[in-house]
């Protein structure tokens, strides 16, 4: 009973964090390991736990998504292919190997989360200049980079959205809001493909996953409501601290 309550609270906390600052998976993954799931299963189950928040964010950003040039939707293809490759790699990674790799993935995600505010400010400053440029010839290059990032997204996932946002800063997408919309689409694609493959191969603990998912949905709505009232910098600092502690404990 205490395990159920713990995972529900973790899911709620992750939902609030994702809505306000991001990085909820950095809380969910170590929590699932703490209740006894093997590292690979904990990582796969984390996808189920946070998937609702990704789709909710996409729905909230629908108006901006509709304004995106259609050519950018082609990036869904490399996102799906890369996520599938990453999930296949995860399936063929032993629990021992993944446990050794996980702290480095977490630290990478923590670094991305820490620099995300500076990244957003940089993109906002450049958005007018980017709006005047066209990178049609670069779309294939952008697609290849999305493919590479999606492999990481399918394998581990935390920090994938922030990396994609940085990449979209090189395109001619006009506003940061549209970039966020495209990021949500690619994130939802990678997460869904990875989850389907991993679930098909029996690597998702549905019982624990749905417990965290339930809390995550409530936390997401709560975080969205209080997003303008809670200090994002404080929440971000807490998430970063938890990520560092998790990396140390898992290692």
Cα dihedral 12, 14, 18, 21 sign: positive
Going from the C-alpha of 131 to that of each of 46, 140, 175, the distances in angstroms are: 36, 19, 8
Residue 175 phi/psi, 5-degree rounding, is -130, 160
Going from the C-alpha of 65 to that of each of 46, 130, 136, 228, the distances in angstroms are: 26, 17, 19, 22
C-alpha 204/C-alpha 148 separation (Å) is 24
| Tens digits of residue pLDDT in 177-217 | 777 788 888 988 999 999 999 999 999 999 999 999 988 88
Average pLDDT, the chain: 81
Structure-block tokens of residue 159: 């920090």
The 3-state DSSP class for residue 21 equals coil
> Model's pTM, two decimal places?
0.80
Structure-block tokens of residue 28: 């969910």
Of 168 and 146, which is predicted with more confidence? 146
The 3-state DSSP class for residue 160 equals helix
| Tens digits of residue pLDDT in 232-243 | 666 667 767 777
């Amino acid at each position: 009973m205490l395990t159920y309550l713990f995972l529900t609270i973790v899911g709620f906390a992750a939902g609030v964090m994702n809505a306000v600052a991001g990085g909820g998976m950095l809380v969910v993954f170590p929590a699932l390991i703490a209740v006894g799931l093997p590292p690979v299963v904990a990582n796969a189950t984390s996808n189920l736990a946070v998937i609702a928040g990704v789709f909710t964010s996409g729905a909230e950003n629908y108006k901006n998504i509709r304004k995106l040039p259609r050519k950018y939707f082609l990036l869904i293809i490399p996102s799906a292919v890369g996520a599938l490759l990453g999930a296949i790699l995860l399936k063929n990674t032993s629990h021992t190997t993944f446990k050794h790799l996980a702290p480095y993935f977490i630290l990478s995600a923590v670094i991305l989360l820490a620099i995300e505010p500076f990244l957003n400010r940089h993109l906002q400053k450049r958005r007018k200049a980017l709006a005047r440029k066209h990178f049609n010839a670069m779309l294939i290059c952008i697609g290849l980079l999305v493919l590479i990032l999606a492999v990481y997204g399918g394998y581990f996932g935390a920090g994938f959205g922030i990396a994609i946002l940085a990449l979209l800063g090189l395109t001619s997408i006009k506003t940061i809001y549209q970039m966020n919309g495209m990021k949500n689409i690619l994130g939802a694609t990678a997460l869904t493909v990875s989850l389907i493959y991993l679930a098909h191969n029996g690597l998702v603990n549905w019982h624990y996953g749905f417990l965290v998912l339930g809390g995550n949905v409530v936390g997401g709505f709560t975080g969205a409501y209080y997003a303008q009232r809670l200090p994002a910098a404080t929440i971000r600092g807490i998430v970063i601290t938890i990520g560092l502690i998790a990396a140390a404990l898992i290692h």
